[in-house]
Amino acid sequence: MNLKVTEEAAKWYKNELELNNDTPLRFYVRYGGVGGLQPGLSLAIKQVDPAEPVAEDKVEGVYFYIEEDDEWYFDGHSLTVEYDENWQEPEFKYD
């Protein structure tokens, strides 16, 4: 699996969360939410140092990653995080 975060999406996270350069930001699976790849689950974020990342991307000085224990959720898909101009927030796309 691969993780790609666009520059526009990274800027949004950096501004909204007031992140510094080299801040780690993990995408992880949570129960609930809408629009997820698996029914009843969705992705969330948290600032925590990586342990066993399986996918990563560094954009705008922010280190985005997904841990090995969340890889099952993607079921062989890769994740692209883009910025949605209409909603003015990040959008997850699974390839």
Model pLDDT, residue 36: 77
- Find out whether 61 and 67 touch, Cβ atoms under 8 Å: no
d(CA 76, CA 86): 29
User: Digits of tens for pLDDT over the chain (95 positions)?
Assistant: 999 999 999 999 999 999 999 899 999 999 987 767 888 899 999 999 999 999 999 999 999 999 999 999 999 999 999 999 999 999 999 99
- Quote the number of domains for the chain: 1
Model pLDDT, residue 14: 96
Sign of CA dihedral 14, 17, 23, 28: negative
CATH number, residue 33: 2.60.300.12
Question: CB burial class (10 A; 0-12, 13-18, 19+) of residue 9?
Answer: buried
Neighbouring residues of 55: CB distance < 8 A, sequence distance ≥ 6: 1, 2, 3, 65, 66, 71, 78, 79
Model pLDDT, residue 38: 86
Model pLDDT, residue 39: 82
Model pLDDT, residue 74: 94
Q: Which structural domain, as residue segments, surrounds residue 54?
A: 3-94
